[in-house]
Amino acid sequence: MKALLEVNHLTKQFGKDSKALTDVSFSVQEGEFVSIIGPSGAGKSTLLRCINRMIDATGGDIRFQDSQVMNLKKKELKQVRTKIGMIFQHYNLVNRLSVIENTLHGKLGTKSTLAGVLGLYSKEEKQQAVQILNVLGLNEMIYKRADQLSGGQKQRVGIARALIQNPRMLLCDEPIASLDPNSAKVIMDHLKKVSTTMGITVVVNLHQVDVAIKYSDRIIGINKGQVVYNGSAKGLTSEDIQRIYGSEADDLIFDIGGIHAG
Amino acid sequence: MEVKEQLRNVTAPADHLIGGRMPAKPLNKAAIVTRLTLYTLAVLTIYAFFSFDYKELDFMDALLGTFANLKTIFLEPHLKHFSFGHALYQVMVTLGLAFLTTLFGAIIAILFGLLAAENLSSKKTSMVIKSLVAFIRAVPTVLWVLIFAVAAGLGSTAAVIGMTFHSIGYLIKAYSESFEEMDRGVIEALQASGANWWQIVFQAVIPSSITYMISWTFLRFEINFAVAVAMGAAAGAGGIGYDMFMASSFYLDMREIGAITYFILAVAIILEIFAAKIKRKLKTA
């Protein structure tokens, strides 16, 4: 099967000599749940943003479906972006707008400029928004303002905004880093459900190794901008974790044997 | 010897403070400069009062005269050369001048404010606009009106153009700073979903900063009302300001000046109450 996303020899350089990514290559299959783990500052966020070109990479190439992302012109890039949903650590909602308005923002990329500017959405689009919000358990909150929600609810609106794009892939940048364990579990369960029931590919940056092992099909470990592990979640050994986190590995607060047993 | 001294300082670093005076603020360069400036200003003020040309003016007489004038103006106001209805109409004209210039200014400033906000345009465009705007604001409104009066002639046209011009400069700065306050992540989120610049501006940037924009615009409206009164007098732009000019320089009628002052005061208070109400509503909405 042809991979949905293919990243080849990707490098990114900030300024003259600070390299964020060095020769990163991996591919993601259709419907796969992939976690990217690594210490802070390893280049996880940069990698994720290079995929939809929120950051322009310095070298290498990226293929998403049939498009070479690196060579796309402005208009084609927007088209590709409509097929890739993105979820953020700080939710990034417009606080003064309602939940449903924030959800419908995901549709802007497919609308004409004027319709988008005036906020004119079709009946079908609104119905789809309500349906997605129902699935995420936000049916009571539809007309609430985004700043009245809790963190976990905000992140669910973030997921709704990404899902209404009818995306082929979701990029999640530390989606649970600002949440309490309970809300974090709800969000990860939703992401897993999205991947298994809707067949949407999910690529997620994570800080928590145990969460990554529990939810993902495959784990990509990054250290200092290089891929140091690329394999199944089950196959991740404590030596691998040592390699990914370097000297910090001993400070991680979990027991790897316990996780695999659970 | 020196080493011993230092050692003592290390063991009891605050000893020398406990005995003597203990300043709450350390005396650094900034504090010295501030103090010197204040002393210089004080000396200059005292010197100025001694060096004025008083023209054998009796201070008590002058003071009493002023109070007598103020009493005539504020305690015996009347309208002689025009009716109450006319005065009300003229106040409306002045308000209209303020409203029109604020509206023109706001519409133009939204566009340029977006271009001047660093997070929405390029660094270069932003800097060019910001420095141009700084120049416009540095020249007072009255001066702009007089500059435009060269082409348009002294009157309402010059007043509208000149006041609009300065309002644009003021509001571009206010708006662009409100836009720059915005969370970078929200813009990023919409960009990542394929939305274009106009959509992001109208769906995220303006909804997020609308409260700031309205309160800045209203503040400018209040300023423009005050300027419009002055323009009526100084540039012949009409409105209540022109009547005040006539009452003072032409009829020399202090009582009428008093009446007009009360009119302006009443409008200013109404505007203030209105502004406070709007702001409260925006905060809770």
Residue A181 lies in a domain: no
Looking at the predicted structure, is the pLDDT value of residue A121 above 90? yes
**A139 CA to chain B: closest CA distance, Å?**
22
| Tally of structural domains, chain A | 2
Q: Do B191 and A110 touch (CB under 8 A)?
A: no
Q: Are residues A94 and A135 in the same domain?
A: yes
Q: For chain B, how big is the Rg over CA atoms in Å?
A: 28
Residue B66 CA to residue B47 CA, distance in Å, equals: 25
> pLDDT tens track of chain B, all 285 residues?
455 555 454 545 555 555 566 667 777 888 899 999 999 999 999 999 888 887 777 888 889 999 999 999 889 888 888 888 998 999 999 999 999 999 999 999 999 999 999 999 999 999 999 999 999 999 999 899 989 999 888 888 999 999 999 999 999 999 999 999 998 999 999 999 999 999 999 999 999 999 899 999 999 999 999 999 999 888 888 889 998 888 888 888 889 999 999 999 999 999 989 988 888 887 766
Q: What ipTM did this prediction achieve?
A: 0.89
Question: What is the domain partition of chain B in residue ranges?
Answer: 2-51, 88-284
Q: Are residues A98 and A76 in the same domain?
A: no
Residue A32 CA to residue A2 CA, distance in Å, equals: 13
Which of B192, B198, B204 comes nearest A86 by C-beta?
B192
Residue A193 lies in a domain: no
Residue B110: count other Cβ atoms within 10 Å of its Cβ: 17
Q: Which helix (H) or strand (E) holds B127?
A: helix B123-138
B284 touches A at CB < 8 Å = no
| DSSP conformation class of B259 | H
- Nearest chain B residue to A50 by CA distance is B192
Q: Are residues A261 and A218 in the same domain?
A: yes
Residue B245 CA to residue A260 CA, distance in Å, equals: 89
Residue A29 lies in a domain: yes
Sign of CA dihedral A96, A97, A98, A99: negative
The pLDDT value given to residue B125: 95
Q: What are phi and psi of A59, to 5 degrees?
A: -155, 170
Domain boundary among A149, A166, A183: A166
3-class SS of residue A5: strand
* Contact (CB, 8 A) for A83 and A72: no
Question: Mind listing the pLDDT tens digit for each residue in B43-54?
Answer: 999 999 888 887
Residues of B in contact with A158 (CB under 8 A): 189
Q: Are residues A31 and A53 in the same domain?
A: yes
Q: For chain B, how are helix, strand and coil distributed in percent, rounded to 5?
A: 80, 0, 20
Closest CA to B225 of B212, B206, B235, B240: B240
Sign of CA dihedral B277, B280, B282, B285: negative
* Contact (CB, 8 A) for A14 and A45: no
Residue A111 CA to residue B220 CA, distance in Å, equals: 36
Residue A67 lies in a domain: yes
User: Which structural domain range is residue A214 located in?
Assistant: 1-81+168-175+199-262
| CATH code of A14's domain | 3.40.50.300
Residue A182 lies in a domain: no
Residue A90 CA to residue A155 CA, distance in Å, equals: 8
Residue B285 CA to residue B276 CA, distance in Å, equals: 14
The pLDDT value given to residue B95: 94
* Contact (CB, 8 A) for A98 and A130: no
Residues of A in contact with B188 (CB under 8 A): 54, 88, 92
Q: In what order do the strands lie in the sheet with A218-223?
A: A84-87, A169-173, A201-206, A33-37, A218-223, A226-232
pLDDT band at A261 (very low <50, low <70, confident <90, very high): very low
Q: Tokens for A127?
A: 């119905």
* Contact (CB, 8 A) for A169 and A83: yes
The pLDDT value given to residue A242: 87
Domain boundary among A166, A187, A213: A166
Closest CA to A102 of B184, B45, B196, B204: B204
Residue A94 CA to residue B187 CA, distance in Å, equals: 9
Identity of the amino acid at B226: A
Could you tell me the CATH superfamily of domain B88-284? MetI-like (1.10.3720.10)
The pLDDT value given to residue A262: 42
Question: Mind listing the pLDDT tens digit for each residue in B56-86?
Answer: 778 888 899 999 999 998 898 888 888 889 9
Residue A227 lies in a domain: yes
- Nearest chain B residue to A163 by CA distance is B193
Task: Read off the pLDDT of each residue in A23-34 and give the average, rounded to a whole number.
Answer: 93
Q: Tokens for A122?
A: 């079709």
- Nearest chain A residue to B285 by CA distance is A96
**B203 CA to chain A: closest CA distance, Å?**
6
Cα B200-B203-B209 angle, rounded to 5 deg: 95
Residue B223 CA to residue B217 CA, distance in Å, equals: 10
Q: Cβ-count burial of B13 within 10 angstroms (0-12 exposed, 13-18 middle, 19+ buried)?
A: exposed
